[in-house]
Structure 1
Amino acid sequence: MRERTSLPKDGSARPTGRASGPVAVLFVVALALVGLAVSAPASATDSYRADRFHVWNNPRGVAFTPDGSTAVIVNDDPLYKYGTLTKYDAATHVWKWRVDLDGVGANGVAISPDGTQAYATYQSGPFNSGGLTVVDLVNYKKLDTITGTDPLWNVAFTPDGSKVYATEPQLGTPNGSVVVVDPATRTVLTYITVCRAPSDLVFSPDSSRAYVLCTGNGTGTGAISVIDVATSAVTATIPLGISPKGIAITPDGSALFATNFGDGTLSGSVSVVSTATNTVTSTISHVGVGPAAIRISPDGAQAWVLNTNGANVAVIDVATETVVERFPLSVGGMANIAFTPDGERAWVDIDGFTNPYPGMVASFDVKSARWNPTVSRVSGADRYLTSVEVAKTAFPTVAPVVFVATGTGFADALAAAAPAAQLGGPLLLTDPDSLPASVQAEIQSLQPSTIYIVGGTGAISTTVEQQLHSLAPTVTRLAGSDRFETARKVIDVAFPSFTKVYVATGKDFPDALSASAAGGAAGIPVLLVNGTDPSLDQATTAFLTTHGANAFTVLGGPTVVSGGITNQLGDFGRVTRIYGSDRYATSQLINADAFTAGTGAYFATGTQFADALSGAVLAAVNDSPLYVVQPGCVPEGSMHDLASRGVSRATLIGGTGALNNAVAAMYNC
């Protein structure tokens, strides 16, 4: 299309001292893939509380529509003849469309307050001029081009939508300028001379003032030019630190946070500015190496800073003005950051120059990122010692009962955790042929009146049974012809009658163990079934009838517990099925359904049964959930739920061989 020049014809409104000549654009060979909404491979560090997905090459800025449904990313692709604007579904990350800008060196993007238009800046188009491309977000088309300016960098709408400001650095000159555009007519209203090399800008919430951050000469101090929007007059200049790069304003408009990049090798800082006095009131030091873009969360609680040379995101608590967290991002160069309007997520642009992917966005779960629980670990040198340490934590003095199960297989013991919690005793693990000395000592310390052996002599030998007889007045073996009958016998000792019951497969352990803590806390047994059978056996139906069960929570999808079984349970009463995409998602959903309050949570590996078996009792007696998680990370959904509930304590069950230090650091996946 033909470009439209919106400069005043005589140029009288324009400040002097403009730079001339084309803007140098760095062309680097990179893979040019388009809008792939798939997850990129990530290490535990990279996935720390953020998921990543591919976008068009070299993303430079991102903005969201006010309803949060759409994200628009501006890209400066070195392999393409123009900058681009790409649209994504903010929830699914699916690419929707792309429109070419009218020049290269694309950098800034802003969306109108009504969500209908986007303005994107570029540095060099036809006739070596910068400009703004205006895009219709409703009809997915380019509306106009405002050209004839010097190279433009960033752009922003006034909150009331009446004006658009774009920064014009005019590098090499004593002053830069701001281009003021009327979005109703898409014409330039005026140019405002500001401090040297303006880059970023923000507006006061009432649209009365603009704050334009200027980098300066790149090695000296920068400044903020304060503009009266009504008169276009600069009313104040606020000195800053060395080479400031980014600026953000609190939602109430009372303070500005500006990054000081420094020399790019030492830790930079953030200047905090009072908008009432236009003075720097404090400086937050040791923010990170090369702090650049900064944004404040919609609730005003945190400021997030991209440390471009430090390859991490620093999180500042606005109230205390301290760095409370850092999130590493080991790939690419971070360009910009934006919060979704609801404040649930923060998107970080990552360019495609230093990694094999075209471009990426790291999408942080903000609630999870803010979650910083106290983490402790309960463990021993092996599974037997771990069960002992768990018992000591759960029952520090004495216990009326002790359940003993084999530590070499889960089949017989799956249903035992909830009954143990119900009766007020631990579940200890033993070698099938010999009672470990540590377990024996713990039972002696607990002084139980009854010990329940879970499983037949194939699971726990008569030798161990004889050893246990010396430790309590009553020793009872709970064993059936198979794991399912054993489970029913175990349930009987603690739940002589019940109406609600969890139903889980007895062929695998994760679902039953996640439910054991929930069941133990609520007084609900976990019934094991042969989930792949088309129907319940007669013994199970008789058991349910005898106990008066009429409400069932089936754990796992139809491939885990068949539809025939759930249909048959429907003859007894209400049936609810809970399942996720994998054992970790199912664990999350079980706990989300069972626990709505509480300050504690427990974690055990989902790849082995032993720690979760004993740990479920500890979680249950503390009315807390037990999540099965991966050995090296915590699933994001689980972390989000815990953060949302305000859980402040996380306890890991097992040593670092079961749950490594990345889990202790609450790295997510």
Structure 2
Amino acid sequence: MRARRVLTGLVVGAVIATTATVAANAEDTLAGAPRAAGTPIDVPAWRDAPGEGPAREADLTEEQRQYEAHLRLQAAEADVAEPGVSDAARSLQGFDETVPADVPSAGDDAVPSGDAGPAAVGATGAATDVATAEAAAGFTAGNLIIDANFYNGSAMSESQIQSFLQSKVGTCKNSYCLANYKVNTPTRTWSWGTCSTYTGGTAESAARIIYKVQRACNISARVILVTLEKEQSLISDPDPGLGQMQKAMGYGCPDTSACDSTYYGFFNQVYAAGRQLTWYGNPEGSFTWIRVGSSNRILYHPDASRCGGSDVVVQNRATAALYYYTPYQPNSAALANLYGTGDSCSSYGNRNFWRLHRDWFGDPRVKLDIPWTRYAGADRYATAAAVSKATYPNAGVPVAYVASGLDYPDALSAAPAAAAQGGPLLLTGRTSLPSATAAELTRLKPARIVLVGQTGVVSGSVHGALDKIAPTIRVGGADRYATSRLIADYAFGSASIAYLATGTGYADALSAGAAAGKVKGPIVLVSGRAGSVDSATRGLLTSLKVGEVRIAGGTGVVSSGIESSLKTSFSVKRYGGSDRYATSAAVVRAAYGTGGPAYLATGTAFPDALAGAAAAGRVGAPLLLTRPTCVPSSIASVVQDKGITQLRLLGGSAVLSDRVARLAPC
């Protein structure tokens, strides 16, 4: 059902788009539009004469700054245009998309309601299963989208755009439907420090227009696609009307008057909006009143006296550009009902932009298009072998560790030991050596093999098979804790740092194991609910000359009593979070600098991550846990903050979907 727009608010110079405050999925609450040169405008009383403003910009009120910007825009247009005609109007004349004067506007009733809601979104086209409260908690008014995702002229290919349009709309019902739409386009040049020349063509598809504007203006096609949806539902609507096409990007549609027909038409809208969004970020341009890196007052609604606003530190040029285009932020009511309506002071434009981008392409605040690769095999044993091959491409490693692939405790401690000693961790069954493991060991030609666990975990027949490949020793104790201590004692003569984790769960120890391998220290498993550290663990840490103990996990998994008792002899730091993903993020934040690759493993199973932890520890890269089909916000923020340059997925697509590689948010 299409909602009727409510056009309200102040006219803000050079701010362009449309408003809807009735329905949450309706158009944005916006204000103002650039006017053609010579368009009359009332001169406020505070200004003595047109062209002469106060001496200092800092003395201006918000309204005064906006008026000054409007005059600068008019002056700039006059400088580059033919007499009496703005460059925008001149550049959009004389081609097939001009709307005849006798074709009426579709009117407000024809303006669609925007995004169709959760069932219409999702990086794979399926419904996005998102808890609204959790999702909305990720919204940050000062960082709507990072510059790298906004100013990206190669974000999508033309074929990718076309496939996306088809996947979202299903079956088109008319020729305006974007998956089918074609139009003749003009050649347009804009010399004002923004877009390069757009070379026109015959019967160009919507995908081609979007692609070419992306290239010409260096504005991501994803930004254009999201804007088309939040403004006029054109991505998801199989049967759009003329009015939607005329105002496709909401460009030239101020809150206080009818849309400017100069900008009517799909090509006009996409090109003009792309140009404008680029111009907003031009450091030599006139849009300076939103100060990047500083606090700015951003309103919730055009009715400032009733609805107010809040101070927002705008973190980048892209976010500033969106606030110039849509000058309101969502209030708490709009965020509390992320796919619905808020209250009478709610505005939805920037909320819907963030939400659509997040659901379709990934969190706009996290760098997308990070190169990625997948290490996977037919089963857990073959996956471990694939990780080994990628980490150790040449034969002649000093050691290879082998542990059970059917349970996790022994392998958790083996991962940093293998990393520190320069070899992989491979997996085995209890009574037989898998062919993938045997083949990889044969290729590697290790000087020795360390088999982890007693015969109740890995049988003598496996030991015998390993011994035929390379000399094999067994390291194992009476239980998982004893085995953990024996591995640490065997692999590390000394260690300045040791990690502690519970032995009754695998999640926290996976990220910690990779971090331990990086610093050439052990990970020691403990009975996490004990009231104090056991004497055997204390003795091991002392004998290894450990100075700092890092606990992985909160007090619910490793007790405060253990922490307190360790503090009598060691420096102790704890890294924990609200869940396994937040704990993984906390471990990685503390242990790693910026740049380089990161390994991603599912947090809901252990096998693939075991070999991955050893590989990550060896190359000094973090291992981050994620959900099978999406990336928790705590993990995505680490990827962003650490400037990760490559993602390495552990396991096949049934374990980690391609959506994880695209950092699709949970």
State whether TM-score is above 0.5. yes
Query: 2:484: which partner in 1?
Result: 487
Q: Matched residues in 2 for 1:180 and 1:526: separation?
A: 72
Q: Matched residues in 2 for 1:204 and 1:619: separation?
A: 56
Query: 1:561: which partner in 2?
Result: 558
Give the C-alpha shift of residue 283 in structure 1: 5.4
Return the match for 2:446 from 434, 448, 454: 448
Q: Could you report, residue by residue, the CA deviation over 1:123-172 in whole angstroms, capped at 9, with x for unpaired residues?
A: xxxxxxxxxxxxxxxxxxxxxxxxxxxxxxx32xxxxxxxxxx6799xxx
* 1:568–1:295 Cα change, 3 Å: farther
Q: Could you report, residue by residue, the CA deviation over 1:285-342 in whole angstroms, capped at 9, with x for unpaired residues?
A: 8665997xx999xx99868321221259999999xx9xxxxxxxxxxxxxxxxx9721
Give the C-alpha shift of residue 235 in structure 1: 5.8
Query: 2:91: which partner in 1?
Result: 239
Return the match for 1:597 from 594, 598, 603: 594
Q: Does 1:282 align with 2:198?
A: yes
Return the match for 1:620 from 605, 617, 620: 617
Is the 1:532–1:560 contact (alpha carbons within 8 Å) kept by the matching residues of 2? yes
Corresponding residue SS for 2:644 = coil
Query: 2:296: which partner in 1?
Result: none
Q: Matched residues in 2 for 1:183 and 1:595: separation?
A: 58
Query: 1:520: which partner in 2?
Result: 517
Q: How does 1:167-186 map to 2 (within 5 A)?
A: 179-180=41-42, 182=44
Q: Bigger CA drift: 511-520 or 276-285?
A: 276-285
Return the match for 2:73 from 210, 216, 230: 210
Query: 1:226: which partner in 2?
Result: 77
* Alignment size in residue pairs: 464
Q: Does 1:405 align with 2:403?
A: yes
Return the match for 2:429 from 422, 425, 431: 431
Is the 2:20–2:29 contact (alpha carbons within 8 Å) kept by the matching residues of 1? no
Is the 1:267–1:290 contact (alpha carbons within 8 Å) kept by the matching residues of 2? no
- Name whichever structure is richer in strand by fraction: 1
Q: Could you report, residue by residue, the CA deviation over 1:42-99 in whole angstroms, capped at 9, with x for unpaired residues?
A: xxxxxxxxxxxxxxx99999999xxxxxxxx99644489xxxxxxxxxxxxxxxxxxx
Q: Does 1:667 align with 2:660?
A: no
Corresponding residue SS for 1:472 = coil
Give the C-alpha shift of residue 614 in structure 1: 0.4
Q: How does 1:82-481 map to 2 (within 5 A)?
A: 108-109=29-30, 154-155=31-32, 179-180=41-42, 182=44, 209-210=72-73, 226=77, 236=87, 237-240=89-92, 242=97, 263=176, 265=178, 266=181, 274-276=190-192, 281-282=197-198, 288=207, 304-305=223-224, 306-308=227-229, 309-311=234-236, 341-343=314-316, 357-358=340-341, 361-362=351-352, 363=354, 368-398=365-395, 399-473=397-471, 475-481=472-478
Q: Matched residues in 1 for 2:45 and 2:448: separation?
A: 80
Residue 548 of structure 1 aligns with an amino acid whose one-letter code is K
Corresponding residue SS for 2:436 = helix
* 1:62–1:545 Cα change, 3 Å: farther
Q: Matched residues in 1 for 2:405 and 2:446: separation?
A: 21
Residue 210 of structure 1 aligns with an amino acid whose one-letter code is L
Q: How does 1:1-40 map to 2 (within 5 A)?
A: none
Two-structure CA RMSD over aligned residues (Å)? 5.1
Question: Quick one: higher RCO (CA 8 Å, sep 6+), 1 or 2?
Answer: 2
Is the 2:514–2:622 contact (alpha carbons within 8 Å) kept by the matching residues of 1? yes
Is the 2:34–2:73 contact (alpha carbons within 8 Å) kept by the matching residues of 1? no
Query: 2:569: which partner in 1?
Result: 572
* 1:302–1:566 Cα change, 3 Å: same
Structure 1: runs of 5 or more not aligned: 1-24, 29-56, 65-72, 81-104, 110-153, 156-165, 170-174, 190-201, 213-224, 246-250, 322-338
* 1:497–1:668 Cα change, 3 Å: same
Is the 2:366–2:639 contact (alpha carbons within 8 Å) kept by the matching residues of 1? no
Q: Matched residues in 1 for 2:475 and 2:559: separation?
A: 27
Q: Matched residues in 2 for 1:281 and 1:661: separation?
A: 36
Q: Matched residues in 2 for 1:587 and 1:629: separation?
A: 9
Give the C-alpha shift of residue 207 in structure 1: 6.1
Q: Matched residues in 1 for 2:580 and 2:621: separation?
A: 19
Query: 2:130: which partner in 1?
Result: none
Give the C-alpha shift of residue 372 in structure 1: 1.3
Query: 1:14: which partner in 2?
Result: none
Q: Matched residues in 2 for 1:243 and 1:612: separation?
A: 58
Residue 430 of structure 2 aligns with an amino acid whose one-letter code is P
Give the C-alpha shift of residue 640 in structure 1: 3.3
Give the C-alpha shift of residue 540 in structure 1: 1.0
Corresponding residue SS for 2:648 = strand
Instruction: Say which one has the larger Rg.
Output: 1
* 1:548–1:426 Cα change, 3 Å: same
- TM-score by length of structure 1 reads 0.58
Q: Matched residues in 2 for 1:375 and 1:295: separation?
A: 24
- Name whichever structure is richer in helix by fraction: 2
Q: Matched residues in 2 for 1:445 and 1:179: separation?
A: 79
- TM-score by length of structure 2 reads 0.59
Return the match for 2:508 from 500, 508, 511: 511
Query: 1:12: which partner in 2?
Result: none
Q: Matched residues in 1 for 2:194 and 2:591: separation?
A: 51
Residue 378 of structure 1 aligns with an amino acid whose one-letter code is Y
Q: Matched residues in 1 for 2:500 and 2:576: separation?
A: 12
Is the 2:421–2:491 contact (alpha carbons within 8 Å) kept by the matching residues of 1? yes
Is the 2:553–2:576 contact (alpha carbons within 8 Å) kept by the matching residues of 1? yes
Return the match for 1:632 from 629, 633, 637: 629
Corresponding residue SS for 2:664 = coil
Give the C-alpha shift of residue 435 in structure 1: 0.7
Give the C-alpha shift of residue 650 in structure 1: 1.2
Q: Does 1:530 align with 2:527?
A: yes
Is the 1:373–1:650 contact (alpha carbons within 8 Å) kept by the matching residues of 2? yes
Q: Could you report, residue by residue, the CA deviation over 1:387-446 in whole angstroms, capped at 9, with x for unpaired residues?
A: 111111111222111111111111222111000011111111011011112211221222
Q: What is the percentage of aligned positions where both structures have the same residue? A: 30
Give the C-alpha shift of residue 182 in structure 1: 2.8
Q: Matched residues in 2 for 1:63 and 1:504: separation?
A: 59
Give the C-alpha shift of residue 538 in structure 1: 1.3
Structure 2: runs of 5 or more not aligned: 52-64, 100-104, 106-146, 154-174, 238-248, 250-269, 279-311, 343-347
